[in-house]
Amino acid sequence: MTPLPPVSRARRAALLLVLCAGPTAALTACGEDPDAGTNGVGKLTAAEIETKARAAADGAAAVRLSGTLVSKGGTYKLNMRLKHDGGSGSVTSKDNTFELLRIGDVLYLKADAGFWSRADGKGTEKPSPTDTEAAGKLNDKYVKVPKGDPAYKQFRGFTDMDVLLDGLLGMQGELSKGDHKKVGGVRTIKVKAGEGAGGTLDVSLEGKPYPLQFARAGGAGVLTLGDWDRDFALAAPPKDETVDYGGQLPKSSD
């Protein structure tokens, strides 16, 4: 038998480097632990990781939530800072961008004249001169949304930390573990539902196992979560920038 030619030490080192530059499985095979120096949740089952992430989110006092939400009502871009007694930020839909501010049960909506001048609530009718004049007075004002107005519950939902997290982070299907990744420079472990079709959740491997990114089932949006437990101030807008109808918002029931 003819012996194999000797392989130089340099070539062996190069081959090992190529093998160890592959996926996480290759890293593990090469003796590197992808969970070394982490909070350890990456070693748990997918169901246990999801439970830990839920518990961390439920126990947090504040969060920043941003990204895209697709629902029956349309597609929205969210950029909200939330805590249990209120929240603030912006929501962008196909036709408008508006700001929301909630302090306890008091809710304010700020938008431009175009938002308020839609006569039928959908922008399919040309606003009347009266509508245009009224909308101009509301342009970039904080309009206090009455509790009894049909829009109150809808707009408040965008500022409710518990409602948003419970409603947006739901996973559908059997859970399985995915790859180790990074979200915003933070090491994460991915949990997939229904092989990804039912949603995928990236959970932090550093510090508390907070959810850092969530791709909703059925392509219903991707959300990024950060600034967990970082408090922020909520203050009522100046009186000269506030409008209080005390009854019902213009056109909101149409």
Q: In whole angstroms, what separates CA 130 from the centre of its chain? A: 39
133 plus 213 within the same structural domain = no
Give tens-digit pLDDT for 36-71.
999 999 999 999 999 999 999 999 999 999 999 898
189 domain-assigned = yes
**Rounded CA separation 149/248 (Å):** 5
Instruction: Answer yes or no: are the C-beta atoms of 223 and 168 closer than 8 Å.
Output: yes
Cβ neighbours of 83 (radius 10 Å): 18
> Which is it for strands 141-144 and 242-244: parallel, antiparallel or unpaired?
parallel
Same domain, 205 and 151: no
- The answer as to whether 203 is a domain residue is yes
Closest CA to 41 of 254, 190, 212, 209: 209
Q: Cβ(157)–Cβ(89) under 8 Å?
A: no
Same domain, 70 and 159: yes
pTM for the complete prediction?
A: 0.80
**Residue 51 and residue 79 in one domain:** no
pLDDT of residue 120: 44
Q: Based on the fold, state whether residues 160 and 67 are members of the same structural domain.
A: yes
Q: Quote the pLDDT of residue 113.
A: 86
Asked if 71 and 129 sit in the same domain, the reply is yes
Domain assignment present for 2 = no
Question: Given pLDDT bands bounded at 50, 70 and 90, which one contains residue 94?
Answer: confident
Q: Is residue 214 part of a domain?
A: yes
Instruction: Examine the domain organization and report whether 54 and 175 are in the same domain.
Output: yes
Identify whether residues 148 and 70 lie together within a single domain.
yes
Task: Please name the helix (run of DSSP H) or strand (run of DSSP E) that holds residue 67, with its range, or none.
Answer: strand 62-71
Sign of the Cα pseudo-torsion (157, 162, 163, 165, in order): positive
pLDDT class for 95, splitting at 50, 70, 90? confident
- Assess if residue 10 is contained within a domain: no
Same domain? 70 vs 193: no
Residue 13 counted as domain residue: no
How sure is the predictor about 238, in pLDDT bands with cuts at 50, 70 and 90? very high
What ranges in the chain are assigned the alpha helix state H? 9-19, 24-29, 46-58, 113-116, 129-138, 150-157, 161-168
**Mean pLDDT value across residues 141-170:** 90
The pLDDT assigned to 237 comes to: 95
Does a structural domain hold residue 128? yes
Residue 22: band (very low, low, confident or very high) from pLDDT cuts 50, 70, 90: very low
Please check whether residues 132 and 195 belong to one and the same domain.
no
Domains in the chain, number: 2
Helices (H) and strands (E) in the chain, counts: 7, 12
Domain carrying residue 177: 41-59+171-226
